[in-house]
Amino acid sequence: MLTTLFRSEQGGHEQVVICQDRASGLKAVIAVHSTALGPALGGTRFHPYATEEEAVLDALNLSRGMSYKNALAGLPLGGGKAVIIGDPAAVTDGGIKSEELLLAYGRFVESLGGRYITACDVGTYVADMDVVARESRHVTGRSPENGGAGDSSVLTAFGVFQGMRAGAEHLWGAPTLRGRKVGVAGVGKVGHHLVDHLIEDGAEVVVTDVRVESVDRIRARHPQVTAVADTSALIRADLDVYAPCALGGALDDETVPVLSAKLVCGAANNQLAHPGVEKDLANRDILYAPDYVVNAGGVIQVADELHGFDFDRAKAQATKIFDTTAAIFARAQSDGIPPAAAADRIAEQRMAEARRA
């Protein structure tokens, strides 16, 4: 673990804090990857890791990812992430989450004096952040009743749409999806807002979702939207654009060879099943908009909450996802590298410049 931290490419973190509160059963790891651009912002993942080592590695990887995401979102924030080890269900439901545990966790967040700012992630919710915020000022993603910004899916979808417009301009010369056939896999919180933008822009939309109610809700609002049985049918549906908005790993060795779209741009995290997939996409001349760039609307929203949430200000920041995505595609082309590698270079440049300033 220490070798990873001090010597490997995956390391380089500024600070890693191991937290324990035996009374409540809290075992947590807070990883501050970089504060070059500002305090390290990143959510708290609550997960029953098989081993403590697995939890530390997840915190190291996720916090590094947040440094890149925040840098590319143009935020004056570094990257951090925390993990709490254990079943995130409430104590009454057989898990370990309790008010006592969250308060103890809040005291650890506070002890870092603002170097780390926490928020929700898998296994933690706005109600949990409200509790953590009783012990720490360095918490965002709270409920609207407690000064929070509320549902982040609105700006996440808006940001994905901006990234998609940038992809359309790069491929077809105009920043619009008008007349393009777009397949959206997963029409939950983000996906259904994305469909609204696409319809307004004049796109032809095809959707799929494992939950029939989600599809019915979209078709009730936009009867012109068509639905197919599953993702496998969607990716073969003669698409111009594929928008994965369900789970991670949407692009793998089975899907890429049969993908009909020329552009992939969606909200789902970790779309590439393994790093080699990006090269496979490039070999098929499919343009990939890096997921962590185009889905940054959510983090832009929670970051804005730190200053007293202002929807219009956050939306203006999310609009810049268009320029950032366009810059990434241009850099990928000029350097002859895949877009995700170009995104990493731009983020590293921003962090290095901040360190020199």
Ligand X SMILES: NC(=O)c1ccc[n+]([C@@H]2O[C@H](COP(=O)([O-])OP(=O)(O)OC[C@H]3O[C@@H](n4cnc5c(N)ncnc54)[C@H](O)[C@@H]3O)[C@@H](O)[C@H]2O)c1
**Interface residues with ligand X (CB under 6 A)?**
152-153, 156, 185-191, 208-211, 214, 231, 245-247, 267-269, 295, 298
- 319 near 270, Cβ under 8 Å? no
Catalytic (active-site) positions: 81
Strand partners, 236: none
Region at 207 (left for phi over 0; alpha for psi -120 to 50; beta for the rest): beta
How far apart (Å, rounded) are the C-alpha atoms in residues 340 and 26?
36
The CA distance from 212 to 247, in Å, is 17
- Order of strands across the sheet with 241-244? 226-227, 204-208, 181-185, 241-244, 263-264, 287-288
Closest listed residue to residue 76, CA positions, set 43, 39, 45? 39
Listing DSSP states for 105-142 in one string gives: HHHHHHHTTTSEEB-B-TT--HHHHHHHTTT-S-B-S-
What CA–CA distance (Å, rounded) separates 225 from 212? 14
User: Can you tell me which residue has the tokens 């807070």?
Assistant: 30
Whole-number minimum distance, CB 297 to ligand X, in Å? 7
